[in-house]
């Protein structure tokens, strides 16, 4: 068994403050709004909150373009509001993680404005500047994630600065010792204030290789350098230095957002002996429905691919390291719309998806609204979008003629990040009870049916199901520490697996389809020593006929020696 740690036993709840709850009727969610809703989160049973950026920002990427690391943006409240939130959380036993965005800053950050002021600025080297090539060409053919080149020139004949996301988000130069010391000092001050750790934004990309050379261009005309950057071994040195400078001796947790990280490297990063990070978000499963035009396709995730990827990560981190489990976050369309059923089986499929994830090995993350089965938004026009990523992609792909407008709108409905960012649906009141004003972004029209108030009083709701899953985790060590073994791997419709610890074995069986499916009961699971912990289907025929109803999911617990994963 792996070493017990509190953060392995937790469930984390992710809050996107702008869309969580508006306490002062300006249409924007805020920090006092989170404090007001703590009673709900405590009732739900979550242990930790991850709060997306609330710092002053350039306003280009909803807070992921920070202009001041050590204050609170006025729209979200004051430092006193933040401290009150933190105190109230701690009083009721909830920990708080802040979002640490240190791959880049806003172009309005004073460090960048100074760096930009000229080659002799003492802060020039806090960012990454290079001379262009001949014929006014950028230093390399790297592309930015939000479209266009990753290099922007500072005036005619000037140097270029690197920005992996957008020109408004210049990348920091982690090779600069002074920069690293400033970041570590800033982190220490937040920890001194009492925060319990950090979710680290694109931490896998902080270590830029010395030579940022051309690579094979994709359809966009640019090279996507992320895999090359993430593979740079210098990353490990920075993470170890960060730990020894800031984190050692404090009982906090770190979760890295690790886009483009492979399994082998993830093992190194989360192996406790290496002193880097506690856990990682990997994205291989989220990228399964992408294609040549990035995520802008109507390709869907296929269950066999999802199983292959999840199994590989589950087994790869089973003995060393630790993973963060998620189906949703603020950058992803809603998983219920992606792999569940928004219609007749909305509730059943939402519960099934939750079961499948929460019983895996790793720390589960719930993204706001997931626990009530919020779905994608039926966007019909580009002016309903708020996220620059999709707005820019819309114009880029349609103007270049690569994707017809109607198709692009369809892809946006399926994949855009704004799907996750519509206001939290609290009740059937106007604007879903999120605000008394006009919300900063439209509320999903399904709020009269899908909201907290309706589900809170209903024992068979999705919300009640999440509450039960959280409670199970707190009561059964096998859910936290048990070994993971895939079961019936070749079944294209059912995702099943076993977890085992000491003399307990858990069997989790999930039907990912809208038709009844069979999956044989594992050996030893037909006796009197087996308990049904949860089943999302009334009158289940699973134990009697090995038959799963549409989107059925069942969790069985067996006491007694573990028999391995063989069929009966
Ligand atoms: C991360 C964030 C995302 C942001 C990006 C750039 O991926 O989760 O929201 O746009 O980093 O900071
Ligand atoms: Ca507000």
Task: Give the model confidence (pLDDT) of 496-555 as tens digits.
Answer: 999 999 999 999 999 999 999 999 999 999 989 999 999 999 999 999 999 999 999 999
Domains 6-104+177-210+219-468 and 110-162 share a fold: no
- Write the pLDDT tens digit of every residue in 368-406: 999 999 999 999 999 999 999 999 999 999 999 999 999
Indicate whether residue 61 lines ligand 1 (CB < 6 A): yes
Q: Who's near 400: CB < 8 A, 6+ residues apart?
A: none
pTM: 0.97
Indicate whether residue 165 lines ligand 1 (CB < 6 A): yes
Query: What's the CA-to-centroid distance between 432 and ligand 2, angstroms?
Result: 15
**Residue whose token pair is 């266009």:** 148
- For the CA of 64, the nearest atom of ligand 1: 12
Which pLDDT score is estimated for 1? Answer: 79
> 110-162 has which fold?
Oligo-1,6-glucosidase; domain 2 (3.90.400)
Query: What's the CA-to-centroid distance between 146 and ligand 2, angstroms?
Result: 28
From the candidates 22, 61, 257, 276, which is the catalytic residue?
Answer: 257
Residue among 104, 88, 105, 100 at smallest CA distance from 40: 88
Give yes or no: 234 in active site: no
- Write the pLDDT tens digit of every residue in 444-463: 999 999 999 999 999 999 99
- Write the pLDDT tens digit of every residue in 99-113: 999 999 999 999 999
Confidence of residue 563 (pLDDT cuts 50, 70, 90): low
Which pLDDT score is estimated for 432? Answer: 98
How many beta carbons lie within 10 A of that of residue 399, not counting itself?
Answer: 9
Give yes or no: 134 in active site: no
Which pLDDT score is estimated for 333? Answer: 98
The 3-class SS string of 388-429 reads: HHHHHHHHHHHHCCCCCHHHHHHHHHHHCHHHHCCCCCCCCC
Q: What's the CATH number of domain 6-104+177-210+219-468, 3.30.1360.40, 3.20.20.80, 3.40.1440.10, 3.40.190.10?
A: 3.20.20.80
Q: Which helix (H) or strand (E) holds 31?
A: helix 31-36
Q: Of the bound ligands, which one is closest to the alpha carbon of residue 65?
A: 1
501: alpha, beta or left, given left = phi > 0 and alpha = psi -120 to 50? beta
From the candidates 99, 196, 201, 289, which is the catalytic residue?
Answer: 201
Indicate whether residue 202 lines ligand 1 (CB < 6 A): yes
Given this structure, which CATH class describes domain 483-559?
mainly beta
For 354, the 3-state DSSP assignment is helix
Residue range 201-212: average pLDDT?
A: 96
Across the strands, what pairs with 200?
Answer: 100, 256
- For the CA of 329, the nearest atom of ligand 1: 8
Query: What's the CA-to-centroid distance between 202 and ligand 1, angstroms?
Result: 7
CA dist., res. 470 & res. 452, Å (int): 17
- Write the pLDDT tens digit of every residue in 263-315: 999 999 999 999 999 999 999 999 999 988 999 999 999 999 999 999 999 99
Query: What's the CA-to-centroid distance between 490 and ligand 1, angstroms?
Result: 35
- Across the chain, mean pLDDT equals 96
Q: Whose CA is nearest to atom 5 of ligand 1?
A: 64
Indicate whether residue 101 lines ligand 1 (CB < 6 A): yes
Locate the domains of the chain by residue range: 6-104+177-210+219-468, 110-162, 483-559
Confidence of residue 135 (pLDDT cuts 50, 70, 90): confident
18, 57, 165: which to mutate for ligand 1, most atoms within 8 A of CB? 165
Residue range 333-344: average pLDDT?
A: 98
Indicate whether residue 11 lines ligand 1 (CB < 6 A): no
| Residue spans of alpha helices (H) in 213-302 | 226-230, 234-242, 263-270
Query: What's the CA-to-centroid distance between 201 and ligand 1, angstroms?
Result: 6
């Amino acid at each position: 068994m792996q070493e017990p740690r509190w953060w392995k036993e937790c469930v984390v709840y992710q809050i996107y403050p702008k869309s969580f709850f508006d306490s002062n009727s300006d249409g924007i969610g805020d920090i006092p709004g989170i404090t007001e809703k703590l009673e709900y989160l405590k009732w739900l049973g979550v242990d930790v909150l991850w709060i997306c950026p609330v710092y002053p920002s350039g306003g280009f990427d909803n807070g992921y373009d920070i202009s001041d690391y050590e204050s609170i943006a006025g729209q979200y409240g004051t430092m006193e509001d933040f401290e009150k939130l933190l105190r109230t959380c701690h009083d009721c036993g909830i920990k708080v993680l802040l979002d640490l965005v240190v791959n880049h800053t806003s172009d309005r950050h004073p460090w960048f404005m100074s760096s930009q002021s000229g080659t002799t600025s003492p802060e020039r080297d806090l960012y990454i500047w290079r001379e262009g090539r001949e014929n006014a060409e950028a230093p390399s053919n790297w592309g930015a994630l939000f479209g266009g080149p990753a290099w922007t020139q500072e005036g005619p004949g000037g140097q270029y600065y690197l920005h992996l996301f957008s020109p408004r988000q210049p990348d920091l130069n982690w090779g600069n010792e002074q920069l690293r010391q400033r970041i570590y000092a800033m982190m220490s001050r937040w920890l001194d204030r009492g925060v319990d750790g950090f979710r680290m934004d694109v931490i896998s990309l902080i270590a830029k290789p010395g030579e940022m050379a051309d690579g094979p261009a994709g359809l966009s005309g640019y090279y996507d350098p992320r895999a090359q950057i993430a593979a740079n071994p210098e990353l490990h040195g920075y993470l170890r230095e960060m730990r020894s400078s800031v984190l050692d001796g404090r009982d906090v947790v770190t979760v890295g957002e690790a886009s483009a990280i492979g399994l082998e490297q993830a093992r190194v990063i989360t192996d406790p002996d290496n002193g880097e990070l506690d856990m990682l978000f990997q994205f291989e499963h989220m990228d399964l429905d992408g294609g040549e035009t990035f995520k802008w396709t109507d390709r869907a995730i296929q269950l066999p691919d999802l199983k292959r990827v999840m199994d590989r990560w589950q087994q790869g981190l089973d003995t060393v390291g630790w993973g963060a489990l998620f189906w949703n976050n603020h950058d992803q369309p809603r998983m219920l719309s992606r792999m569940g059923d928004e219609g007749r089986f909305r509730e059943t499929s939402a519960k099934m998806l939750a079961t499948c994830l929460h019983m895996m090995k790793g720390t589960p993350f719930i993204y706001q609204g997931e626990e009530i089965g919020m779905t994608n938004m039926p966007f019909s026009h580009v002016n309903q979008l708020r996220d620059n990523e999709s707005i820019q992609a819309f114009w880029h792909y349609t103007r270049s003629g690569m994707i017809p407008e109607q198709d692009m709108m369809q892809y946006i409905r399926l994949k855009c990040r704004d799907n996750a960012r519509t206001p939290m649906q609290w009740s059937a009141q106007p604007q879903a009870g999120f605000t008394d004003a006009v919300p900063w972004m439209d509320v999903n029209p399904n709020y009269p049916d899908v909201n907290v108030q309706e589900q809170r009083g209903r024992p068979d709701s999705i919300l009640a199901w999440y509450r039960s899953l959280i409670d199970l985790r707190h009561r059964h060590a096998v859910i936290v520490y048990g070994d993971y073994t895939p079961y019936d791997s070749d079944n294209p419709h059912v995702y099943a697996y076993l977890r085992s610890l000491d003399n307990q074995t858990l069997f989790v069986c999930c039907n990912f389809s809208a038709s009844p499916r069979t999956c044989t009961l594992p050996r030893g699971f037909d006796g009197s020593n087996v308990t049904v912990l949860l089943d999302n289907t009334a009158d289940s025929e699973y134990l009697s006929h090995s038959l799963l109803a549409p989107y059925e999911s069942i969790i069985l617990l067996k006491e007694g020696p573990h028999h391995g994963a063989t069929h009966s």
